Every structure is written in structure tokens, then in C-alpha cells.
Amino acid sequence: MDARETTPDAAAPQGAPPRIAVLGTGYLGATHAVAMAQLGMEVVGVDTDQGKVDALAAGKVPFFEPGLPELLEQTLATGRLRFTTDVAEAVAWADVHFVCVGTPQTKTSHAADLRFVEAATTAIARHLTHDAVIVGKSTVPVGTGARLRELVAREAPAGVAWELVWNPEFLREGKAVDDTLHPDRIVLGGTTPASEALLRRVYATPIAEGSPVVVTDLPTAELVKVSANAFLATKISFINAIAGVCEAAGADVTVLADALGHDVRIGRQFLDAGLGFGGGCLPKDIRALMHRAGELGAHRAAGLLQQVDEINMGQRERVVDLAVEACGGSVLNRRIGVLGAAFKPLTDDVRDSPALNVAAALHLRGAQVTVYDPEAGDTARATFPTLGYATSTREAVEGSDVVLVLTEWREFVDADPAALAALTATPRVIDARGRLDAPAWREAGWALRALGRAA
């Protein structure tokens, strides 16, 4: 089936809002459930974790995402949103079932672990009592949907009509609420006219606001999200590779990126040289795509993604090397203040965080590392309890031999360099995100190094 894109003028079919079940109430599922309720639908969020269900039902979001706690409280108050561990009741009640569970990397390879997706889909199939549409939102390897259709065909009760389609998510942590309520595109894969019409009712509000709808086949829809992440990762690794050239040649990668960004074919976003990407999506998604591409014999794609991954991981080693160099060749018993633990600002997510990876690597070399992050302190401590943790920027910087800015929180970018310099043993800073005002920090007495700029 060829892809087709519809314009905002295509009116969404009318009818009563469908009842929604969202299986999985982690980052994706909780956000999606709240957003669907905000768009006017009755929604039930389903999870096997009673603690998570109880917290959400009480209006408490178990992770940091700007705007989501307030929206959760609002939608709970309307009575349109509830949470449960009773999957049978939820499936029997709902018309549309969104699969929003995680697909982490397996422990033994780069492949995606699909156990949770398969378990959620099986649970839906076994408890169907009336015609329904199963909608995959989780990020999966291409070909997953076809296998899940076979699973549902085996498990669903006879006489119940169902469809399984794919509607990938495109959430950015820190902006997930807006991305769900006002998506820049809605991809529907493997739909029939009936299921497409139903999902247009689900997304009637953003469609009316102008969000384009791309209708395509199941494999293409599965590939859209991982391909988008792979492209963004490639863009980041490209500018980081060029940053190495800039350092060697005495050029400034930031000015270079600004100049490149004026080209409309390239754009400025994701051209910030620095510590590289991390988090729960890009690293594991490009590795899963690399693995799947290899399985399919698409070795050029697999080779490209291997290089992207290697360049990205090399940036972490580069920052460790700069810290060792700043300390005269050894960090043993040196005090290092680390500003940032989350993989990016506006989240408390420390999964595959470059910041924590660097902090842990320096700790293993004998450094006394103290980490501060405005939101991710607790999640970081749970992941790396052997590191030291501070409760403020000043506390992290105090007495340090070198300071590393590893997450570009506004609090760090706007900090007073003169006031911080007075707290240090030696005012040396490594700006691993390229966001500090270098002249101002140097004027305040700091010896500053930044990736992609000459020393």
C-alpha cells in the first residue's frame, strides 16, 4: 500500500468518542492516557504495577515531565480518566486499545526486547469481547506488527472482529504533553477504511488544528519512528565528528553549525556539538535498527548506524580525557564537580545518560565526584549510588579541581561565573554542551574548554 498524506481540510468522521484503553503507564503510556482524556475521550490506563496505578490514580506522576502533573489532575477531575490493573475489565470496556509498553534493548544483543509488547497484545486478544482496534504505539523493529497479527489471530475469541495497526509515537522528553496534544504528524499504518475512520475520531482535535495524517502500510509505519531517531542521531554524530576537525584546525564548531543551519536543507537543530545523545530512545532505537537491518541484509544501513553509535560513545571518552588533562594527567583524589545527570534538560531520565557515564568513569579512575542535577538527583542516585550528590550548583562546585557541565540546564547556563569561581580550588570548567558564555566565564577567571573549539 502506498503512503498518502491528507490535509487538515479532510474532516474527521463524526460520532461518539471511542473509549480508550492504554496498556502500559510508563512515560509513553501515562502521557498518552492523560492526553487522550484531555482530548475528550473516556480513558482507562492499565498496568501490572499496582504502585504505579495507585500513584497515577492519586494524581501523582512517577517521573518528571513539565505540564503532565497539572494535566493529570485536571483530567482525573473530569471523570474521563481512570487507572486499573484489571486488564480483562479494561479490554472488555474499550473500543481502541493502545499498546504503550517499553521495548528495551535485550541483554545479549542490540535487538529490541519485545516481551512486553507481546504480553500486552496477548492480554488484549484474550480478553476481547467485542469488535475493537489494537493500536501499537511502542517503538518496534519492522515486521513486528505482522507477527503480532498472527498472535492475535491465535488468541482472540472466535466471532470477534479486530484490527491491529501501528501509530508510532514521536514524543520528546520535556515536551511530551505538547507533542501528544499537537503532533507534527500522525502516522497510521496498516489501517482499513474503518480503522482509519475510527482513529481520525480519536485524533479529531489535532487534525482539525492542522496536524497532517500520513496513512501507509504496516512496515513503513513501524520504520518511521526508528528512522527519525536514526537520522537525528546521525546529525548529532556528524557535528561531533566535525568538532574534532575544528579542534585540530583551530576553528569554532558553534559558528560553523550556525552557518550550516542557515541552509534550509540542513537546519540548525541537532547541530550542537558536545557530549552526544543518550536517553531511553535514541541509543537503543538505532541499535535495534542496526540489528534488524543486518537481519534483513541491509548492511550499508547497519554499517552507517554502527559508525554513528561509535562516534557518539567516543564523545564521552573525549570528555573524560579532557578532565584528566585538566587535572594534570590524573584525577586520582581530585575533586570533580559534575553539573547534570539527566541525559538532557527538562527530564529526570538518566537511562544511558552521557553525563552519568562520564561521572562514573571518572569515579572509577579515583576521582571524588559530586553530581548535581535539578531534577534527576534521585534517579541518578538509584542508578549510581557510589557517586557523591549535591543539592545545589554551589555545593557541587565548592572545592572542586575541575567542573564539568554535562547537561545544559538553564540553571547552569545562567549561573554567575564569578560567584562560582570563588568557591573552587582552581576555576577550571569543561563545557561539554557548548552552552556557556565562554568570554564571560574566562573574564571571571575560569580556564574553559569546550568541545569543537580550540583550547
Residues with catalytic roles: 281
Cα four-point dihedral sign 205, 211, 214, 219? negative
Cα 357 to Cα 253: distance, rounded to the nearest angstrom: 24
Cα 365 to Cα 332: distance, rounded to the nearest angstrom: 6
The 3-state DSSP class for residue 55 equals helix
Cα 215 to Cα 1: distance, rounded to the nearest angstrom: 9
Q: What share of the chain is helix, strand, coil (3-state, %, to 5)?
A: 45, 15, 40
The 3-state DSSP class for residue 272 equals coil
Beta carbons of 97 and 134 less than 8 angstroms apart = yes
Q: Which residues of 333-364 are buried (b: 16+ CB within 10 A; e: fewer)?
A: ebbbbbbbbbbbbbbbbbbbbbbbbbbbbbbe
Q: Residue 335: which of 245, 427, 197 has the closest Cα?
A: 427
For 364, residues 6+ apart whose C-beta sits below 8 A from its C-beta are none
Here the cell at position 137 is 504505539
CB atoms within 10 A of CB 295: 13
CB atoms within 10 A of CB 442: 15
Q: Given the C-alpha cell 492523560, which residue does it identify?
A: 34
For 69, residues 6+ apart whose C-beta sits below 8 A from its C-beta are 59, 60, 61
Q: Residue 395: which of 426, 425, 420, 361 has the closest Cα?
A: 420
Cα four-point dihedral sign 354, 99, 103, 289? negative
Cα 365 to Cα 380: distance, rounded to the nearest angstrom: 19
Cα 59 to Cα 44: distance, rounded to the nearest angstrom: 14
Gyration radius of the chain over CA positions? 24
Tell me, what DSSP letter sits at residue 345? Answer: S
The 3-state DSSP class for residue 103 equals coil
